Amino acid sequence: MKALRSVKGMHDIFPDEMPRWHFVEQTYRELVERYGYGEIRTPILEPLELFVRSIGEATDIVEKEMYAFEDKGGAQLGVRPEGTASVIRAYIQHNLQARQPISKMYYLGPMFRRERPAKGRYRQFYQAGAELVGIKSPAADAELIDMVVQFVKRLGIEQINVQLNTLGDRQTRPRFRAALVDYFTQFEKELCPDCVRRLRVNPLRILDCKVKTCKAIAADAPVVLDHLSEEARTDFEQLQSILDRSQTSFTVVPTMVRGLDYYTSTIFEIEVNSDALGAQASIVGGGRYDDLVEQLGGRSTPAIGYSFGIERLIAVLGSSASIEPRPVYYVAAVGDSGFERASDLTRELRNKGFHVEVAYQAGSLKSQLKRANRLAADAVIIAGDDEAARGAVTLRDMKTGEQQEVPLAELEQRIEARK
């Protein structure tokens, strides 16, 4: 039988890779919980309509990338391509607006998009994010942006560029849309087929097209900052002022849009120079989506959030992250009753919180030391007959090769001191 392989664009993550994953995840959890966010976990499968209505029919995600199918009961289901829509569905369904008028939620989990695999991009990828639902304020926007900047810096990524823009409010968007339609209609014959259709459905999506001819045309398109309402302009200026006071550096990029239709008002991305992802690359993206709760059947409720791909952050970190491995201790069994003593000692040390490995069957001391080396053990505890008679074990330092006899009563204290 031919050996089976994983699905294209979906990858295995092995134990030796997990310390970096845990480093990112634990750093993230600790920081966002300090800001008052609690974790939410939503299903991977959702009604297909949820993603079509929230993300937008004219987006690449819905048109080309989403995994969708009909189940045996005839229901149209979508495999989760991003986290925000599911969080807002849960917020509405469980009436969090009544119980928690201002809700702060974060998530981590797998997402799925059938896009072309590339550096740091997979068809099953792991995403984390946070949503602040129930308040509209430049101060809230600034706090959320500052929070994610602090997170990235805690990982040791210092050279970042925060890009900022606004899509305006309900008064702004019709004016901006009309200006885009007027502009792109002049070049309709030169646009790609997707953008010709977007011109009718959502001309804002043309600004995000990756086709060279469309990008060249879009370079001279109207910018939203020239069409802001007075209220939208004031909010955007206040946001910049707050970020300046908090010494959060940013660049206003008037041409920036986001790839999802639900965004309104503030949008932002964090870019990093990284060969691991290919020159300038975005590692975090987010923004305000004040209309989404209402669009999905809830009461009008403002909200803002962001997300990042964990694989992309890990690719940027590479080997630069300072991750201290836990000390590993290996208990070697020597002598007639050594195997039983080693097993008992291993269980006792594990119960006290130490990371301990042991042989699962009797073997020579040489073979056990080799296995300890392969496991990168910090030290080996040799449980032999002679030492047992004296109520002791031999503690061998695997880096120096030095070893000394240690009374069992002092063993925990001695290995604790090695941490």
pLDDT at 170 over 70: yes
Whether 253 and 271 have beta carbons less than 8 Å apart is answered as no
Tens of pLDDT, residue by residue over 320-335, are 555 666 788 999 888 7
With pLDDT > 90 as the criterion, what percentage of the chain qualifies?
A: 45
Tens of pLDDT, residue by residue over 270-280, are 998 776 676 55
Tens of pLDDT, residue by residue over 50-64, are 998 888 776 778 878
Length of the chain, in residues: 419
Which CATH architecture group holds 328-410? 3-Layer(aba) Sandwich (3.40)
Q: Stretch 372-388: mean pLDDT, rounded?
A: 86
43/36 Cα distance (integer angstroms): 23
pLDDT of residue 343: 86
Lowest mean pLDDT among 201-215, 221-235, 279-293, 317-331: 317-331
Tell me the β-bridge partners of 270: 162, 284
pLDDT at 39 over 60: yes
Tens of pLDDT, residue by residue over 232-256, are 999 999 999 999 998 899 999 988 8
* 136-174: b (≥16 Cβ within 10 Å) or e: bebebbbebbbbbbebbeebebeebebbbbbbbbeebbe
Average per-residue pLDDT in the chain? 88
Cβ burial of 98 (10 Å; 0-12, 13-18, 19+) is exposed
Considering only residues 360 and 66, tell me which one the structure prediction assigns the higher pLDDT: 66
User: The CATH number of 15-171+229-317 is which of 3.40.190.10, 3.30.930.10, 3.80.30.20, 3.40.50.10860?
Assistant: 3.30.930.10
Domain residue spans of the chain: 15-171+229-317, 328-410
Q: Stretch 210-239: mean pLDDT, rounded?
A: 90
Considering only residues 279 and 112, tell me which one the structure prediction assigns the higher pLDDT: 112
Nearest to 332 by CA among 364, 297, 378: 364
